[in-house]
Structures are given as structure tokens and as C-alpha cells.
Structure 1
Amino acid sequence: MVVTTTSDARSRPVGAWGAVLSMALCVAMLIASEFMPVSLLTPMAEGLHASSGQTGQAISISGLFAVLSSMLITTAAGTVNRKSVLVAMTALMLISLILVAAAPNFAMLMMGRALLGVCIGGFWALATAVIMRLVPEADVPRALALMYGGQAIAAAFAAPIGSYLGGIFGWRAVFWALTPIVAVNLFWHLVALPSLPASQRQDFRSMFSLLKRPHFLRGLIAAMLTWGSAFTMFTYLRPFLEQVTGVGLSALSILLLILGCAGFIGTWAAGRFLTGNVAPLLKLPALLMGGCTAGLLLLGHWVVAASIFLALWGVMNTAMSVIWMTWMSQNVDDAPEAAGSLMVAAIQASILLGAVVGGLLLDGLTIVATFTGSVVLAGLALALIGSGQRLLKPARA
């Protein structure tokens, strides 16, 4: 249902875009909080007396709890108003940041990151379904692109600013700096989000019944491979740039800024051109991002080449989310919350495995092995997606 003041609701939403913007800020804070350890991996490892591979598990632990939360949230929340659930998830993010910033040891860090995982899973499981209720059906891709604009903002500024400020003030100060922004976002949710009563009570049967749909199951696995490829590389990007490209702190911040700013192009393009049949676009993330990772393996020692590949990777990084969530909204539109739970669980599981396997390859072999694993996963995703037609719901007779 779209929030309106008249009976012809779906044509003239009132206040819905303010709510979408509030969710976009929440996305920015979630992405910044979840992946800030990427830009601070080395100093965090030194400060907590751990290896880079171990500290990378700060991302995998949040992924683990995000998987669990995404699977449980729609059933545990029952008929609770979805606005209340989103507000609660944002409050958990605020508490998590405080725990991480104040963590005296590695165990406390992981506890804070686990709490963040609960917030990530809960928010993303409901996000697309909420967007589908805030705006007319024709505006869903544009609203998703706007919401994922928060991802572009976080990608553009969180990593480079985080690495730069972390070098000056320490990594803890970076996490403390995020807390007032999340507090403002919490208040904005309370004001901007309309009441969103649960349309129906979800259970595990409704989720698992979706897995019996061949097109959805194939899409779910393809999405996992795509995200697994992306974050096997992205989680350990800083060690690659330091060890292979040979950059210092200033150059590292610039390269991360290039990657992040390119995300604005991806978000804009996805919102403008993503209409109609999404099938031909499904293979683009794995194709372009996997190709860029392969390019880094071949030419990553050259700073100019690295900057070009990171820019291209950044464009598709933000477009990837819009493409796949638009696919979900068009092909599982009869059960958006259940599909959202499964999609988020699958994506977070792939991020978790990417961080774990990538860390093992980094500590056991080399950073080159980590990036090679990323390319292999991209190739598997491309093989499964093909033309994309088999990932679309069957046409009704």
C-alpha cells in the first residue's frame, strides 16, 4: 500500500519519497558500518594484536548474524508494524557502533559486529518489500536506486575518509564519528516512515516454498556467487593495494575515493535505464567486476591501471544491488518479504564465506590467491546466469 491522502493512492504518494530518503541514509550507515573494517583493516589488526586475516572475520561475523537475522526477522516480528521493526534495527546499529568503538579487545569487537549483523539482516530482509509499499509499482526501480544511493555515498566517502581519519586520529575515532549520524537517522525514521502494518504473518514454510520455484532458486544461487566474488576481493582490497600496488596511506585513500565516487554513476545508471526486462543485465555485475579483479591481478602493480579497474568495479558495485533487487521485485512479487529474507540470507552468506575463504587464502597463501578465488566465483556466476531468461518467472498462460 502506498501512503496517500486519496483513494487513488497508487498514483499520488504523499511523503513516501521522504521515507525512501530516510532509508537511503540508513543504507549509507549500514554499508559504512559493515565495511569500514576494509579501510581500517591494518590498523585494527595492529591495535587488537591480531592478523589481517583474523580481523577480516569482523566482516564475516556480521555476515553470519545477518544470515540468521534475515531468516528469522519476518517470522519473529510476526504482525509487528514494519516501521517499528526498522526503527529497532537502526537502534541496534547505534549500539553496535558504540561497542565497536569502545572495544578493549577482539572479543568485544566481534560482539559489536555480531549485533550489527542482526541489524543488517533485519533491515535488508524488509527493505525491498517496504519500498514496494511506499511507491507505485512503476517507480520501484527508481526508488530502489535512490535507496541504494546511500550505498554509493558510503562507498564514495566512508572508506577513503575512514582510512584517512583513522591514520590521523585512530580507527576507534572513525566509529565514534558515525554514532551521531545514526542517531539522527533514527529520529528521521520516526518522523518520515508511515505506519506499515504487517500484511500477513510469515513463516518458514512460505520461505522454503519459494525454493521450489526453479527460476528463483537459480537466481538465488547466481546472486550468491556474484556477491561472493565481489566481497572475496573487496574485503582484502587494502592488503592488495598495499602489497601489490605498493601505495601509502594518501594514495590508498585516493584510490578508495575513486572506487566509491564511481558508485554514483552506477546508481544513476541503474535508476535511469533499468526498465522492462531485467534478464540481460543480470550477468553484468559478475562479468564486469570479475573482469576488473582479473585486470588487477595482471596490472595491479601499476597505479593508473589499478585506479581504472577500481573505478569500473565501483560503478557496478552499486548497480549490482539495484539490478538483483529489481529482479526479485519483478519475479517474486507475490511474496516480497519471504523472498527478501532468502535473498539477504544468501547474499550475507556469500559475503561471510568470501571473507572467511579470502582470509584463509591470504594468511595461508598470498593476496594473489584471494583475488584468484574471486575471479573463479565470478566465472561460475556467469555460467549459471547465461542469458538470464531461466531466472525469470514463467509467463502466465
Structure 2
Amino acid sequence: MTTDAEGETPARHARQVRVVSTSSCAAAVPIQPAAARAAVTVVEPGSKRGWAAVGAIALGAFIVVMTETMPVGLLPRIGDGLHVSLGLAGLMVLVPGFSAAVSAPLFFLSSGRFDRRSVILVLGVTVLVSNAIVAVAPNFVVVLIARMFFGATLGAFWTVVSPVGPKLVGPAGGTRAITIVAAGISGGTVVGLPAGQFLGDLVGWRLTFATAAAATLLVVVAQAFVLPGIPPDGRTHLRDLVGVVTRRAARLGMAAGAVVFIGQFTAWTYITPFLLDHTHLSGGVISLLYVIYGCGGIVGSLVAGSLFKRGVIGSFAGAATIVAALLIGLASAGTLSWLAGLLFVLWGLFWGIVNPGTLVWILDAAPETPEAASAVNVTNLQIALAVGSGAGAILVSSTTLPTVFLTAGLIVLASAVLAGVSARFLTLARRE
């Protein structure tokens, strides 16, 4: 719940949410009252089919997040293969961000009447087609078109998948279902980037995307067999989105989140060439560091739950300050490979706190409409992601890789300062 100087009063019976996050965004998972959850269960509670469906949803989450993060480890190879600069190749990260930013609120407003089973299957097919097109693309323009469609899928995915798990198994298994889906998301985060790096070394970037397309096909087929019909909750309204952004606490949270994401993705988009060309680490070592980075992010997200009980804004500001220091440290690490590796791993740990903090802040500003807050957050952060990737592309084309990371660190530090100032006149209640 949120109070601020404008006297906003939160609803007495606001729904609680659980937060599931990835390297690029976070999603709110509403926890409905028991009676409501029982009413919307779509299969017999606790049935094998229900749990199989939850597993299929988790696999879909794994594929989507893997597809999202995989190109970061392949940018140098894609640039060489299609004869484009490293900065231009970075558009593979920027373009999906803009697409997701547009699709999240549009899907929120237009998807109220569609069966969620059909929506999930269509989204899976779109991911499959996107990966397949990238695998055979004759030029970089076609690659960007395919990634644009994937970005639209990404925004819709985070909007629709959040409340599905508890519907499939009933109230008693709702928490476990959320945990399983979260495991799929975390697995995709951990696997995507190192898988791209490893398979790129082994078979090339085209076969890497072809492999991702084949894996997506298997998941869609499995979902078609096990997912039951999942009726929607009902139509959604523009006023819910407007209601989120008119609150000062939400606007400040959006500003802090946007700035920190701009800084994060100014650096993150070009982490592979930084470790290869500046730190001179081998491909195998980099793949291992990516796995450790991802695992650190999972640990950070778990720790964040306890920290947020003590204060969301303070936890966000503190973690963002450390991330800024780590990025500036990476810019100064030079060829000290052991130090660069240590700073990189710690970056993953503390980003695991910052990332969900961006959403929790906004959710506490609009507790009555968590789905609308989540959609607004996806749009805000995906635009920031795209801006950050674009800023990195400009910098990497005109300066040096250490300058990119130094600039990114200063941007993240600005977000920490904004959060610290906001904490002086915003009060977020401790979360249970």
C-alpha cells in the first residue's frame, strides 16, 4: 500500500500479488481470495492434468525468456554474419523492447474476451515463427522484423500468463503453481544467454535460432495436448491504466525504474563484446560467468522479498547504488579478468534486487489494479530497455566499451539518487 503527500488512500481490500521477474522485466501474479480462486478453477483441483498444464506454462515461460536473452550472447557473430556493425546488431535488443512496450497495454485493453488457452498457443507459435525467420533471414532487415513480432509477443505474454497458474490447480495449489512457473522464468533467464554463447560457438548463430524454434515447437505441441480451456476474467478498461499513471508515487516509481533500466541495458546489451574484446576472456569462461550471473539474479530476487518488507524504496536505492558502483568498476577493471569476472557476478546478484523492486514500487502505488500496474510497468520498462540499448549502440559506435559501462553506471546512480530523494516524502507500507 502507498501513501504520499497528495493524500492518496489505498483500497482497504487490495489484492496481494507475488512478483516474478526476469532480466528485462517483472510480472505481477495476483493472489485472489480463496472463494474467488475456487470459482475460476478450470480443472479439478489437484488433478494431474492441472499440474501438467502448469508445467506446460512453465516451459512456455522458459522458451520466451530464453528467446529474449539469447541474442545478447550472439551479437558479434550476427553482426559478422550479416555484415553489420556491432552497434547496429544491438537493434535486435532495442526493437523487441519497443514492440513489447506497445503490445502490453493494447493487449490488456483488447484481450478480455479471449480464451487464455488459445492466446497462449498463438503466442507460442509467434515465438516459433520469429526464431525460424531469424534462422534463415537473408539480411538484417528481416531479422529486425522477426524480432519486432517477438517483442509484441513478449508484451502480451507478461500480461496474460500471470494469473493462469492458480486457475489450473485451484486455491490449495496456487502458490506451488506460481513457484513452478517462476522456475521456468528463472531457468530461461539462466539458460538463454549462455546457451546462445555456447551454441553460437558450436554450430553458429543461425542453427542456434533454428534449435530455439524446434524447442518452441515441442513446447507448443505439449501445451496443445495438456492445456484446458481457460476462460478470461472479463473486459479491461482504459481508466485502470490511467488510474495508475495519475498517482505521484507510481510516476516516481516509473521514473526511477525507467532510468535504472536505461543504465542497465546501455551496458548489458554489449556485455559479450566487453568480456571478449576488452577483458579478453575465453568463450567458455564467459558462458560460465553468464550462468553464475543468472543464478546470482535468482538469489537476489529471493533476498529481495525479505528486504522489501523493511522498505521497498530504500532497498531499491541501495541495490541500485551498488549496481552503479559495479558498472563503474567494470569500466575501470581493464584487463584484470578475475576482477571483471567478480564484478560481473555481483552485478547479477544486486540486479536481482533492483529488477523486481521496479514493479513492487508501482504495485504498492496502485494496489487495487495490479494487472493494470503490471501492464504499465511492462510498457515503461520496455521503452527504457530500448532506449538503453539505443544509447549503448550510439556509444559503442562512437567511443570505447569502457566508456559505455562508465556512462551506464552514472545513469544507474542517477536512478538511485532519485529513489533516495523520493523516500523522503513517500512512504510505502511494509509488505507482509
TM-score (normalised: structure 1): 0.86
- 1:32 maps to 2:35: no
Larger mean Cα displacement after TM superposition, 358-367 or 161-170: 161-170
Q: Distance in 2 between matches of 1:369 and 1:117?
A: 28
| Structure 2 portions without partners, runs of 5+ | 1-29
Letter in 2 for 1:89: L
Larger mean Cα displacement after TM superposition, 171-180 or 20-29: 20-29
* Aligned partner (choices 213, 218, 221) of residue 184 of structure 1: 218
What is the aligned partner in structure 1 of residue 124 from structure 2? 90
| Conserved? CA contact 1:152–1:267, under 8 Å | no
What is the aligned partner in structure 2 of residue 244 from structure 1? 278
* Aligned partner (choices 310, 314, 320) of residue 286 of structure 1: 320
Deviation at residue 5 of structure 1 after TM alignment: 11
Q: Distance in 2 between matches of 1:52 and 1:44?
A: 9
What is the aligned partner in structure 1 of residue 107 from structure 2? 73
* Aligned partner (choices 348, 368, 388) of residue 314 of structure 1: 348
Q: Distance in 1 between matches of 2:265 and 2:178?
A: 21
Give secondary structure in 1 for the equivalent of 2:332: helix
Larger mean Cα displacement after TM superposition, 130-139 or 381-390: 130-139
- 1:163 maps to 2:192: no
Deviation per residue, 1:201-222 (Å, 9 max, x gap): 2233321222111111111121
| Conserved? CA contact 1:255–1:307, under 8 Å | yes
Deviation per residue, 1:270-314 (Å, 9 max, x gap): 467765754443334422322221121122421111111111112
Letter in 1 for 2:369: A
Letter in 2 for 1:213: R
Deviation at residue 143 of structure 1 after TM alignment: 6.8
What is the aligned partner in structure 1 of residue 241 from structure 2? 207
- Within 5 Å, give how 1:263-274 maps onto structure 2: 263-270=297-304
Letter in 2 for 1:186: V
Larger mean Cα displacement after TM superposition, 66-75 or 298-307: 298-307
Give secondary structure in 1 for the equivalent of 2:233: coil
- 1:44 maps to 2:78: yes
Give secondary structure in 2 for the equivalent of 1:282: helix
| Conserved? CA contact 1:93–1:116, under 8 Å | yes
Q: Distance in 2 between matches of 1:78 and 1:103?
A: 35
Deviation per residue, 1:321-366 (Å, 9 max, x gap): 4444444444433222222221101111011001101100110112
- Within 5 Å, give how 1:314-333 maps onto structure 2: 314-333=348-367
What is the aligned partner in structure 2 of residue 9 from structure 1? 38
Deviation per residue, 1:52-110 (Å, 9 max, x gap): 00000111111111111112111222422334323322221111111111111111101
What is the aligned partner in structure 2 of residue 60 from structure 1? 94
Letter in 2 for 1:38: V
| Conserved? CA contact 2:297–2:349, under 8 Å | yes
The structure carrying a bigger strand percent of its residues is: 2
Letter in 1 for 2:384: S
* Aligned partner (choices 134, 145, 159) of residue 111 of structure 1: 145
Letter in 1 for 2:38: A
Provide the aligned length of Structure 1 versus Structure 2: 394
Deviation at residue 137 of structure 1 after TM alignment: 10
Give secondary structure in 1 for the equivalent of 2:61: helix
Q: Distance in 2 between matches of 1:40 and 1:373?
A: 23
What is the aligned partner in structure 2 of residue 334 from structure 1? 368
| Conserved? CA contact 2:316–2:353, under 8 Å | no
| Conserved? CA contact 1:292–1:312, under 8 Å | yes
| Conserved? CA contact 1:145–1:268, under 8 Å | no
Larger mean Cα displacement after TM superposition, 44-53 or 134-143: 134-143
Letter in 1 for 2:391: V
Q: Distance in 1 between matches of 2:227 and 2:34?
A: 15
Larger mean Cα displacement after TM superposition, 97-106 or 284-293: 284-293
Letter in 2 for 1:72: L
The structure carrying a bigger helix percent of its residues is: 1
Letter in 2 for 1:253: S
What is the aligned partner in structure 2 of residue 352 from structure 1? 386
* Aligned partner (choices 231, 234, 251) of residue 265 of structure 2: 231
Give secondary structure in 2 for the equivalent of 1:283: helix
Give secondary structure in 2 for the equivalent of 1:201: coil
TM-score (normalised: structure 2): 0.80
Residues 87 and 271 from structure 1, CA distance in 2 versus in 1: closer, same or farther, beyond 3 angstroms? farther
Larger mean Cα displacement after TM superposition, 12-21 or 104-113: 12-21
